[in-house]
Amino acid sequence: MLLRGCEDLEFARVLAQAAGFCQSEAGRQLLLHAVPDSAPEAVERLLDETSEGIAFWQQTVAAKPLEFSLLPPTAAFLSPFLEGLVPQREEILVLGDFLKVDESARQAFKHLQGEKYPRLGSLAQGFADLSDLTREFKRKFNEEGEVRDSASRELKEVRKDLGKLQSSIESRLHALIRQRAPALIEEIHPSIRNNRLTLNVPTGVLHRFKGMVVDYSSSGASVYVEPSEAVELNNERQQLFMAEEREVRRVIQEFSAEVHSRRRELEYNHEILARMDAVLGRARYSLAVNGVRPRLNEHGGIQLLQAKHPLMIEGFVPEDLSFANERIVIISGVNAGGKSILLKVIGLFVLMAYAGLFVPAGEGTAIGLYDSVFVNIGDEQSVLNNLSTFTAHVGFLRDLLNHLRERGSDDRPVLVLIDELGTGTDPHEGSALGYALLEQLRQLPAKVAVTTHYDLIKTLGEKYPQCKNISLAFDEENLRPSYQVLDGIPGKSFAFDIARAEGLPEELLERAHELTDRAEEVFTEVVSVLRRKRQELDVELTAVRQQQRELEAQTGETEQERVALREREAELRRRLSELRRDFEVRIDEFVGGAKERLRKKLRTSAGRSGLEVASEFSAEIQARKLSALADLERELGLSEEARPDPPAFVEGESVTLHALGIEGEVIRVDEAKRTVELSVRGKTLKLSWEKAGDLMREPGPLPAGSRHLRMSWEQRRKLREL
């Protein structure tokens, strides 16, 4: 799997956090150096291991922890155990620690048998039984790594003789003290110097003890003397020590040869234990971040539900993102509004899943399986390589296109994440380059997410069905981002608003407005109007559905009424579709002709300032916009009409609700609140005078071939405002 620029996602930090949940250095190193693999069977296996690891940890290991902390970092601890060598005590202790881990794991692995843990059972398959070697180690060595007396019959006999001889020498030395210095019996005592038993004698009475001076005390006030009566006994003791040392060496060499003969089993068990610790580390990390197992798909779809950045979980606003059927998603919004963070969340979730880590999100989160991942986030300029930001950016795009063109049609898609597409050069040329790039990428096997501030690039989200706009919400009242993902809506930068809130002088902002390309402003205005219009129609569609549910509940309407409501909903859907097509046409017309018209006006405006020409051009654009909106209002049949007064209501009077096709009776009239209560089919409806008048009004004749679109006066007013 090819990974390009993924270090910008800080995936190494995520792995470091997960590795912190391993108990051994061997397990930590495996997790730190984990390489994501997008092969479907590999990803499924890793996620299965993590799922089983969570259950294994909660049900077995947490109650009786494995001693993975004693596991040596590598299998190099076996190197001293070769035939003919004598390992040191520290090396014997390391082997003992490994055998402790091996023994505890062997007991725990018994729970992996059966169908409950198929993946972990497969991982532990072939785990060698070293119980006999462990028993032999415990018989021959104590907890300090020293050879026990029971290691051999010869060693036991030698140490027994040593003990008897030591007692005999000490008795002889105490007798000499009583004979030659009875007054100093509390001051003179036996001591071992140079592995020989001596007497620590004050220098003033040294003449009373015949023998060889072995050493002096640090103060010089006493000397260590080996009495002549103890010389032969010390010689005999020394010979026993040499015999003991020979036997100890023989025991260690014999055990070392046995360890060497089983080195492959020991190395294999060490590998299994390290991998098992890594799996449990992944499992414990997944629990710590409240992670869920992502669903996998091979068509590259991404669905994020309540997703959190794995390195910023505390206080992070959960995000939802639907990126399933589209090829390209365009993320826009204010600076520091969370665009780049969302881009990183997408990339990190993909790499985490490929490494067997659960993701901090809600159930139902889905991740696509990609052939490779290309990431361009951050500044790649290099003084040493003579690369500017833009040059590095273009080099990335070149490599991406070359990679995509070399791939076959049956290969899995490539995930592409680009932050601030087209930056680093002239904004007009950069936006055009970004626009052209995305037009090509939508026809190639790629799944692309980009962030941008360029309005031209945002139009792709409305022009092509393979592209979609999303934005990060911004609190316009308090001028701060709310980090909520808005699906299907391009974002604004709010640069002037934020600058004003941060205290920039008003005259500076006014001058900036004067210098702003008026064509860009008009384009932004058109996008805002059409976006708002689409939102209004979405609200209208929701209101229609709500009315349908209310009428079904309150009046038990006939099948014909339900058909009429469905037709009304279908009509609104058709109008919404026409509005989208109309938007695409207007955008194309605007982008293609606006700048050309402005250039022509500038060329033919001799004697007039650029500001006068821009004002005249703005007025022309405004007139075209109002004309287009008027055309749309006429198409929807919403021409301005005089609103009639509601009829007078009399209690007890029978009325006909023509809009519903039913009869009713006036029960109560409240003039203060301008409401009327009607009895309809055994139910009571409380309506405003205006609403009741709308329901009682007889529909006028419709033009030939047209359908009646039922709307309230309030709904008509809102749509006329558009």
516 φ/ψ sector (left φ>0, alpha ψ -120 to 50, else beta): beta
Domain 295-515 sits in CATH 3.90.1150.10: no
Token digits for 477? 């009242």
Angle at 670 between CA 667 and CA 676, to 5 degrees: 45
The identity of residue 250, as a single letter, is R
Task: Please name every residue paired with 141 in a beta bridge, in sequence order, or none if there are none.
Answer: 147
Mean of the pLDDT values across residues 159-187?
Answer: 88
Token digits for 64? 């009786």
Identify the weakest region by mean pLDDT among 486-490, 548-552, 582-586: 582-586
Mean of the pLDDT values across residues 350-368?
Answer: 96
Residue 339 CA to residue 325 CA, distance in Å, equals 21
Statement: residue 615 has pLDDT above 60: no
Give me the pLDDT at residue 469, please: 92
Give me the pLDDT at residue 685, please: 79
Residue 350 CA to residue 346 CA, distance in Å, equals 6
Out of 407-416, 478-487, 633-642, the most confident range is 407-416
Q: What DSSP string describes 134-193?
A: HHHHHHHB-TTSPBPGGG-HHHHHHHHHHHHHHHHHHHHHHHHHHHH-GGGTTT-EEEEE
Give me the pLDDT at residue 493, please: 65
Q: Do domains 153-242 and 295-515 have the same CATH topology?
A: no
Give me the pLDDT at residue 242, please: 94
Residue 154 CA to residue 248 CA, distance in Å, equals 10
Residue of 106, 29, 92, 100 whose CA lies nearest to 70: 100
Out of 94-98, 180-184, 586-590, the most confident range is 94-98
Look up tokens 């939802």; give the residue: 320
pTM here is 0.68
Identify the weakest region by mean pLDDT among 12-26, 218-232, 619-633: 619-633
Give me the pLDDT at residue 607, please: 55
648 φ/ψ sector (left φ>0, alpha ψ -120 to 50, else beta): beta
- Comparison of pLDDT for 527 and 459, the residue scoring more: 459
- Comparison of pLDDT for 234 and 477, the residue scoring more: 234
The full 3-state SS of 370-426, as one line of letters, equals CCEEEEECCCCCECCCCECHHHHHHHHHHHHHHHHHCCCCCCCCEEEEECCCCCCCC
Residue 321 CA to residue 447 CA, distance in Å, equals 14
369-383 per-position pLDDT tens digit: 999 999 998 654 343
Yes or no: say if 370 and 300 are a contact pair by the CB < 8 Å rule.
Answer: yes
Residue of 454, 595, 625 whose CA lies nearest to 533: 625
Yes or no: say if 345 and 361 are a contact pair by the CB < 8 Å rule.
Answer: no
Percentage of the chain with pLDDT > 90? 42
Helices 339-354 and 40-56, packing angle to 10 deg? 80
φ and ψ at residue 257, rounded to 5 degrees: -65, -35
Statement: residue 690 has pLDDT above 90: no
Task: Write down the CATH number for the domain with range 153-242.
Answer: 1.10.1420.10
Angle at 553 between CA 550 and CA 559, to 5 degrees: 95
Burial, 226: exposed, middle or buried (Cβ in 10 Å; 0-12, 13-18, 19+)? buried
564-610 per-position pLDDT tens digit: 777 777 777 777 667 666 755 665 666 566 556 656 655 665 555 55
Q: What b-and-e string marks burial along 126-152, b requiring 16 or more CB atoms within 10 Å of the CB? A: ebbebeebbebbeebbeeebebeeebb
Token digits for 79? 């190197």
The domains of the chain are located at 9-130+262-288, 153-242, 295-515, 534-635, 645-696
Q: State the first-to-last Cα distance of the chain, in angstroms, to the nearest integer.
A: 51
Spatial strand order of the sheet with 675-680 comes to 654-657, 662-670, 675-680, 683-688
Residue of 258, 265, 244 whose CA lies nearest to 135: 258
- Chain centroid to Cα 316, Å, comes to 12
Statement: residue 688 has pLDDT above 90: no
Statement: residue 722 has pLDDT above 70: no
Statement: residue 638 has pLDDT above 70: no
Give me the pLDDT at residue 620, please: 56
Burial, 701: exposed, middle or buried (Cβ in 10 Å; 0-12, 13-18, 19+)? exposed
Give me the pLDDT at residue 388, please: 65
Burial, 480: exposed, middle or buried (Cβ in 10 Å; 0-12, 13-18, 19+)? middle
Identify the weakest region by mean pLDDT among 30-39, 288-297, 688-697: 688-697
Mean of the pLDDT values across residues 17-37?
Answer: 95
Residue 281 CA to residue 33 CA, distance in Å, equals 14
Look up tokens 């007497």; give the residue: 199
Arithmetic mean of pLDDT over the chain = 82
Residue of 266, 269, 263, 259 whose CA lies nearest to 126: 269
Yes or no: say if 693 and 677 are a contact pair by the CB < 8 Å rule.
Answer: no
Statement: residue 277 has pLDDT above 50: yes
Domain 9-130+262-288 sits in CATH 1.10.1420.10: yes
Residue 244 CA to residue 238 CA, distance in Å, equals 10
The full 3-state SS of 523-554, as one line of letters, equals HHHHHHHHHHHHHHHHHHHHHHHHHHHHHHHH
Look up tokens 């309540």; give the residue: 306
444-459 per-position pLDDT tens digit: 999 999 999 888 898 8
- Comparison of pLDDT for 203 and 598, the residue scoring more: 203
CB atoms within 10 A of CB 258: 15
CATH topology assigned to domain 645-696: SH3 type barrels. (2.30.30)
Residue 427 CA to residue 408 CA, distance in Å, equals 35
Look up tokens 């003919």; give the residue: 84
φ and ψ at residue 680, rounded to 5 degrees: -130, 115
Torsion on CA atoms 530, 533, 534, 536, rounded to nearest 10: 160
- Comparison of pLDDT for 684 and 529, the residue scoring more: 684
Confidence of residue 701 (pLDDT cuts 50, 70, 90): low
Mean of the pLDDT values across residues 165-192?
Answer: 86
- Comparison of pLDDT for 464 and 266, the residue scoring more: 266
Q: E strands of 117-257, at which residues? A: 189-193, 196-202, 211-216, 222-227
Mean of the pLDDT values across residues 403-427?
Answer: 86
